[in-house]
Structure 1
Amino acid sequence: MTTTTGHPSPTVLISENLLERMPTLGERFPDVTFVELPLEGGELRPEYCGAHAMFRSAMSEDLFDDILRNAPDLAWVQIAAAGFDWMGGDVLAERVAGGMVTTRSESSLNVTIAEYCIGAMLSAARRLPDYFEAQQRSEWARYMGRDFIGSTVAIFGTGAIGREVAWRVAALGATPIGVSRSGAPAGQFERVITSDQFHTVLPEADYVVLAMPLTPETENMFGSTEFELMPEHAVLVNIGRGALTDEAALVEALESGQIASAFVDVFVEEPLPTDNPMWTTKNLVVTPHTSFRSDGNGARLERDFVGNLERFIAGDPLAGTMSHPELGY
């Protein structure tokens, strides 16, 4: 999907936290009018209704819908995130169907999330969580680690995040195997299989990384059957969405020793309730949806947005467009 005409002097709505991180936007684009959006609450204002574009992070979904309904010239919305499923509803779907372009910050968060995945897998290989627990007991414990080199990593999702994980895996001497809806070759994956064949790769997967979007096809994709297919030494890393797994089945797989360990950054309910058994599940490391947080994100977010703003002004195709609106990604 592309813009049909250039917008040499657009009005761009931008979330206040993003505008604070990018203080030189006005100097770089003197012909662009930037209008600040509040992170919380807020009412529809006249200057919102004349907007041509929006760069948003957190904001009131009610205000977002009001803008979509009342800004007829709004031709492009970019989000400061790697995925689309957390935002929008019927109004957004109607505008996208009518030609409005929606893009994500496709090169902003993939680096940090990929580094999280590599860190999690190496941590499991060298058994760092076990050593941390031993330290709490003042116990001089010595564990046998596993070589990461020579291992097989099944990466579900071959988009920007999956590709960043894949080349790092390959650089460390392991074999990245991709799983995607299409099965099309991508990046540095040794091979890519279609999602309807994914059971075939699980028995050989020393590590499984879930980096695919949440869709009706991927919801609860991993349950008891899938965990039973994985080797007992296998490690699961989920940085996609919590609902990609059956969380109760994951808890059971870890408690029973069906798989060795898991690192989970995303959950069906967030924040994770204090009484959720995942907090205390054996060999499960919980992180509070923070795999993307890093000090270099601001510069990457600005680079992604500026690149698309330049394309928008010129009337060129935008990067990171929603390629499958019917599936939400």
Structure 2
Amino acid sequence: MKPMVLVAVADAAEPPPELARLERDLTPHYVSTPEEYRAVLADAKVLLVWDLQTKLVHECGPGKVEWIHTNSLGVNAVATAEVADSVTVTNTQGLFEQPMAEFVLASILYRAKGLDRLLAHQRGKVWDQQPTSRIAGRRALVVGAGGVGRTIAELLRATGIDVAIIGRTRREEPDARGGTRVVHGIDELHELLPGADDIVLAAPLTEATRGLIGLAELALMKQSAHLINVGRGGLVDEAALIDALRCGAPAAATLDVFAQEPLPPESPLWEMEQVLVSPHQSADTIGWRDAAVELFLENYARHRAGEPLSNVVNVGALRVDG
């Protein structure tokens, strides 16, 4: 008999077709409601969290689950004190970092090259030649020194952008050329914000980072600054950002994540010309779901063989319970 694995999805009656691949090696049991989840929790040892909006673990606990795999880099959907104490958690590291970095670079190019203006003029059949900005020589501040932040920094540097990266603490680390680079501490954020042309948020959401960008931080940004958030919506005080954008500083924002998702229709962000709204898809490339299933199955093979799992996340360090 194939081993059973619990799979949290948005709709248990119609799970995503990519998950059919699980059935070759496993018996997936799909759940989407607390009732469905509790009914089988006593028999489940492995949980695959496919629906990143699920609240099942927060509401019902992990039960006897020994290993949780999240179909994402972030693990907020399962980060509770009970999980941190008793469950191994892994994520989908290695699949999303490069696409997210490409999205950030595209966002910078979109603003610097005035593509929004070109599209508007094309619709109005307006021939209006205007110079655009070079990206070489811009200064970017990347907040988040994990895999995503580092990949973003590497790609931006390759285009000639000067990048400073912020982690939890200040330190020096070896770079690809045999030298060292400084990773700034989060306590240096206020010092670095005024000099940045592009502020990229790629940090996880924790007690320390919730509301990281608020009124004080927005006031420190250049009037011409561009805020890009590919981390988590909770990193930014959204109301403060809306007010700041209305006042003209920062000049623009590219937002892939929001405090509430989907972004409510009544949000002013939808209609702001200086804002690019992306529906939490900066990491989504064609075929990513199939690749994510294969990554989980590779880790499941390690689990069955008693080998160390890849992409283990220290949930306790996140401290995001609730």
Is 2:61 the partner of 1:61? no
> In 1, are the aligned partners of 2:209 and 2:235 still within 8 Å (CA)?
yes
1:21 corresponds in structure 2 to 18
Deviations 1:122-180 (A, max 9, x none): 11111111222333433223332111112221111111211221221122122222111
Runs of at least 5 residues in structure 2 that lack an aligned partner in the other structure: none
2:161 corresponds in structure 1 to 174
Count of aligned positions: 310
> In 2, are the aligned partners of 1:103 and 1:320 still within 8 Å (CA)?
yes
Bigger drift between 268-277 and 205-214 goes to 268-277
Is 2:208 the partner of 1:217? yes
Bigger drift between 16-25 and 130-139 goes to 16-25
2:276 corresponds in structure 1 to 285
1:250 corresponds in structure 2 to 241
SS of 1:43's equivalent in the other structure is helix
1:84 corresponds in structure 2 to 75
Is 2:162 the partner of 1:162? no
* Distance across 1 between alignment mates of 2:15 and 2:91: 14
* Distance across 2 between alignment mates of 1:114 and 1:282: 23
SS of 1:293's equivalent in the other structure is coil
CA change 1:250–1:312 in 2 (3 A) is: same
* Distance across 2 between alignment mates of 1:39 and 1:112: 28
Is 2:195 the partner of 1:204? yes
> In 2, are the aligned partners of 1:237 and 1:263 still within 8 Å (CA)?
yes
> In 2, are the aligned partners of 1:78 and 1:104 still within 8 Å (CA)?
yes
Bigger drift between 138-147 and 54-63 goes to 54-63
* Distance across 2 between alignment mates of 1:60 and 1:264: 22
1:233 corresponds in structure 2 to 224
SS of 1:120's equivalent in the other structure is helix
CA change 1:142–1:15 in 2 (3 A) is: same
2:298 corresponds in structure 1 to 307
* Distance across 1 between alignment mates of 2:289 and 2:251: 36
Bigger drift between 41-50 and 311-320 goes to 41-50
Runs of at least 5 residues in structure 1 that lack an aligned partner in the other structure: 1-8
Q: 2:260 aligns with which of 261, 266, 269?
A: 269
> In 1, are the aligned partners of 2:31 and 2:37 still within 8 Å (CA)?
no
SS of 1:68's equivalent in the other structure is coil
Is 2:106 the partner of 1:119? yes
> In 1, are the aligned partners of 2:194 and 2:222 still within 8 Å (CA)?
yes
Offset of 1:18 from its aligned partner? Answer: 7.4
Offset of 1:325 from its aligned partner? Answer: 1.7
TM-score by length of 1: 0.82
* Distance across 2 between alignment mates of 1:124 and 1:190: 28
Is 2:143 the partner of 1:146? no
Measured on the aligned residues, the alpha-carbon RMSD in Å equals 2.9
> In 2, are the aligned partners of 1:151 and 1:175 still within 8 Å (CA)?
yes
Offset of 1:42 from its aligned partner? Answer: 5.4
> In 1, are the aligned partners of 2:8 and 2:54 still within 8 Å (CA)?
no
> In 2, are the aligned partners of 1:49 and 1:67 still within 8 Å (CA)?
no
Offset of 1:36 from its aligned partner? Answer: 2.5
TM-score by length of 2: 0.84
Offset of 1:324 from its aligned partner? Answer: 4.3
1:5 corresponds in structure 2 to none
Bigger drift between 194-203 and 59-68 goes to 59-68
